[in-house]
């Protein structure tokens, strides 16, 4: 009896949390398909339209270039951060160097600094370099933000891999780099995949730096959303349509992560 009660309570709580979390997202999806006159209506009975998506991609909003900016910034950031982080994570995990723990702490500690504190220095620096409003500046900043996090994350995955297979490979005649390529990377692949997606999501959603460092050419999607707040009021249906454009890729990636998380690659290596 007691068990069923706690079971019911648990479920009820889960449902409640899900509603709280999912409601705004569901509302955004609905609004994206509404006509301007329905945007403020609470009724679910409206005539759906795709016009909002057409509007946001045409002048003056030109969401297309923002999508492009976001895709380029996030992809390049992942493409640079993940390989570097994987090598760093491997070193932190396997090499017993003096001061290793402190160095690792130092890298992690960059994550404790609130972004607002460093955004101004970054702004001044990029202005000096004449790099304001460029994708490259955003990529550099995102790398700085994301790499420590990804190192930490991948290290967790590599720590979980037993060293036995690596040692066997070294005896079999593989160099350290070969071991990483042939043994460690395939075994850590699910973890690295997961980390890449996290890294992508972080960059994709990054708002503050993009807001400060871009003006016209390098504006990314999250910043672009702000432009739907006009003197004529907030254009909720357009903002929602753009919101859907931001959210859908993340949803798809989250699904991927789930699939990878459930699959271990280390089974069968040792006794």
Q: Is 97 in the site for another protein (CB under 8 A)?
A: no
Residue 113 to residue 147: CA distance in whole angstroms: 14
Nearer to another protein, 189 or 257 (CB): 189
Place of tokens 């702490």: 105
Q: Is 133 in the site for another protein (CB under 8 A)?
A: no
The answer to whether the beta carbons of residues 102 and 142 sit under 8 Å apart is no
Q: Is 265 in the site for another protein (CB under 8 A)?
A: yes
Q: Is 171 in the site for another protein (CB under 8 A)?
A: yes
Q: Is 170 in the site for another protein (CB under 8 A)?
A: yes
- 3-class SS shares of the chain: helix, strand, coil, % to 5: 75, 0, 25
Nearer to another protein, 48 or 186 (CB): 186
Tally Cβ neighbours within 10 Å of residue 244: 19
Beta strands in 140-253 (DSSP E): 229-230, 233-234
Nearer to another protein, 99 or 173 (CB): 173
| Cis? peptide before 61, omega within 30° of 0 | no
Q: Is 91 in the site for another protein (CB under 8 A)?
A: no
Q: Which residues contact 24 (CB under 8 A, 6 or more apart)?
A: none
Contact range with another protein by CB under 8 A, out of 47-55, 203-211, 230-238, 263-271: 263-271
Q: Is 217 in the site for another protein (CB under 8 A)?
A: no
Nearer to another protein, 167 or 217 (CB): 167
Q: Which of 60, 99, 121, 173 binds another protein (CB under 8 A)?
A: 173
Q: Which of 125, 131, 174, 250 binds another protein (CB under 8 A)?
A: 174
Q: Which residues pair with 233 in a beta bridge?
A: 230
Look at residues 192, 132, 123 and name the one whose alpha carbon lies nearest to residue 158.
192
Q: Give me the residues that bind another protein (CB under 8 A), please.
A: 162, 164-165, 167-176, 178, 182-183, 186-187, 265-271
């Amino acid at each position: 009896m007691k068990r069923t009660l706690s079971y019911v309570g648990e479920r009820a709580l889960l449902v409640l949390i899900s509603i709280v979390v999912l409601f705004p997202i569901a509302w955004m999806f609905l609004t994206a398909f509404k006509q301007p006159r329905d945007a403020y209506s609470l009724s679910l009975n409206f005539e759906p339209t795709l016009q909002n998506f057409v509007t946001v991609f045409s002048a003056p909003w030109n969401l297309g270039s923002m999508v492009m900016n976001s895709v380029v910034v996030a992809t390049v950031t992942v493409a640079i951060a993940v390989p570097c982080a994987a090598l760093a994570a491997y070193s932190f995990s396997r090499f017993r160097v003096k001061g290793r723990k402190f160095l690792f702490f130092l890298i992690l500690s960059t994550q404790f600094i609130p972004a607002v504190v460093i955004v101004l220095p970054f702004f001044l620096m990029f202005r000096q370099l004449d790099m304001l409003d460029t994708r490259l500046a955003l990529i550099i900043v995102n790398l700085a933000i994301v790499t420590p996090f990804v190192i930490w994350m991948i290290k967790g995955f590599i720590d979980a891999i037993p060293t036995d297979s690596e040692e066997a490979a070294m005896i079999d005649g593989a160099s350290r780099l070969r071991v990483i390529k042939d043994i460690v990377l395939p075994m850590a692949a699910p973890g690295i995949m997961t980390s890449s997606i996290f890294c992508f999501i972080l960059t994709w959603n990054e708002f503050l730096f993009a807001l400060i460092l871009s003006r016209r050419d390098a504006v990314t999607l999250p910043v672009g959303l702000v432009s739907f707040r006009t003197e004529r009021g907030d254009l909720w249906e357009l903002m929602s349509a753009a919101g859907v454009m931001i959210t859908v890729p993340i949803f798809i990636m989250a699904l991927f992560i789930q699939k990878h998380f459930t699959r271990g690659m280390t089974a069968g290596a040792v006794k």
